[in-house]
Structure 1
Amino acid sequence: MTSYLAAQGKPVAELSPGSEQRLDRLLTVTRRTTDPVSRSESLSREFLGTPYRANTLIGSADVPEQLVANLEQVDCFTFADHVEAAKRATTREEFFAALTEVRYRDGAVSFANRKHFFTDWAATSPPVATDITASLSPDAVAVHKQLNQKDSGGWYLPGLPVVARTVSYLPSDRVDDSVLAGLRTGDYLGAYATDGGLDVTHVGIVVNTPQGPVLRNASSLPADMRVVDTPLREYLGTVPGVVVLRPLR
């Protein structure tokens, strides 16, 4: 598989045997499930219990970027883009093509083109998702940010430009029953960042269950350190607000 992609001119990191096995299971789920909502729930469920690990991607301003699919260890962002890519694929070739589209602008594998910010999924063309935050409630707040530029000075991602963007978020204390009713399984929910250089600090996938909505997420909390389902009402009490993106597929 990686040889095939290398022949297409894509710098691809080798898949581990464990990642190969999980990818095959994910593709089986996609082939058996036609409804996008069911696909999102079933694919994301495959990751429950997966260990949390940050910094699995390869690439920086000084290190050449590689297309990495570490399906055995994920952080909140790689969990989301692996699920989104798997929704769009029934073969390994299609998965890597979809991962390239989801993770990079213009399908070009490079650190500069990586979609580093959550709202890039809605702001870049073609979009991966639509930002529905403001449509969920009239209480949504729009904030003008300079993404990548820390309020305290310096940059989150050295070597990359500052991105001016208006980010809408819904304060957590304004997320009432009507807002929760407007969320669908498969929506991507980000924890709003108060720092002007970030849009969100954490990302997960909304899953509606008979017991109420949960945030399926790769949690770095010491008590978790794995992909877990966190009751959404409980999670809202720990963050200042939320940004919600609805996938287009």
Structure 2
Amino acid sequence: MSGAITRRNFLATMAGGVAVLASGPAWAGRAQPARQRIASLIGEAATVLTVAQRIDVISKALIGSPYRGHTLIGSPRRAERFVLRDDVFDCVTFCETVLAAALAREPAQFETQLRLIRYKDGEIDWRARNHYFSDWCANNVANHVCRKLLLPGSETIDKRLTFMRGLGPRQVSMTVLSRDALIDNRALLATGDIIGFLSQRPGLDYFHTGFVVVTGEGRLMLRHAAKSRGRVLDQPLPRFLADNHAQAVTLLRVKEPATMASVT
């Protein structure tokens, strides 16, 4: 894979170098201000000890940002472009942007982190993009960005995916937790955990994703880019589950960046 992130250029970037990008990043819209905002957020969070705390700081700063879908560029017939935005988000690009900024301890690392999170092996190609959230989970566990959060009651289910045109049907296995088991095990959740909501629609794996936030009073909140609300916001997680008839979820916990040195 000519566009893949190798161990050598990934570690060079983590050490303060600049990785070679297969396609120049497309800072859509306010390109220079966007770079500056991301750099500012990384700087604000740099002194925070844990990656979960940095996720909280950065995601909170983006509350109120408008929702916009279909901002990524590429298709089976159109060359993929590496799009970076800080001004508008859908649920997945919000999680990706926050996570990449939280893992980057300096601005020069942000683009490499985002590539690794968005694309299998960091390869800028439409077919390497994590179109299904089940692919997003599997690839970001494989590259040591996240680990599965297995709470009591977790189980594995299989589903046939046919939703994405151009990818063809596939069978996937997903580790899920029922809504009731999630609430029963709420004390085991932490701010910064990534949550995906299982879809009941044939051919689709998940319908939404966001970050778990545990307030000082112990309330469970969902911080996400909501199409229905048109912006990034916090909502009570139990209410979101009920309103959207969500029956099961998948949970990931982000690893500390030091563990990412094993990416090849």
Residue deviations 1:174-232, cap 9 Å, x none?
3334x1111111110111111342221000100110241100000111xx210000111
Note if 1:50 corresponds to 2:70.
no
Determine helix, strand or coil for the equivalent of 1:115. coil
Structure 1 counterpart of 2:92: 77
Note if 1:240 corresponds to 2:255.
no
Note if 1:145 corresponds to 2:159.
yes
CA distance in 1, matches of 2:151, 2:105: 33
Note if 1:90 corresponds to 2:105.
yes
Q: Note the C-alpha offset of 1:19.
A: 1.6
Structure 1 counterpart of 2:48: 33
Q: Is the 8 A contact 1:40 1:83 kept in 2?
A: yes
TM-score, normalisation: structure 2? 0.81
* Structure 1 gap segments, 5+ residues each: 150-155
Residue deviations 1:11-60, cap 9 Å, x none?
32135244223212222123222311211110111110000000111111
CA distance in 2, matches of 1:74, 1:80: 9
Structure 1 counterpart of 2:23: 10
Determine helix, strand or coil for the equivalent of 1:44. helix
Q: Could you tell me the percent identity over the aligned residues?
A: 31
Note if 1:216 corresponds to 2:223.
yes
TM-score, normalisation: structure 1? 0.86
CA distance in 1, matches of 2:236, 2:66: 19
Q: Is the 8 A contact 1:122 1:128 kept in 2?
A: no
Residue deviations 1:66-101, cap 9 Å, x none?
111111000000000001111121333210010010
Please, which moves more after superposition, 195-204 or 77-86?
195-204
Structure 1 counterpart of 2:14: none
CA distance in 1, matches of 2:136, 2:146: 6
Question: Structure 1 or 2: larger helix share?
Answer: 2
- Counterpart of 2:174 (choices 155, 167, 176) is 167
* Structure 2 gap segments, 5+ residues each: 1-16, 257-264
Determine helix, strand or coil for the equivalent of 1:48. coil
Structure 2 counterpart of 1:152: none
Note if 1:103 corresponds to 2:108.
no
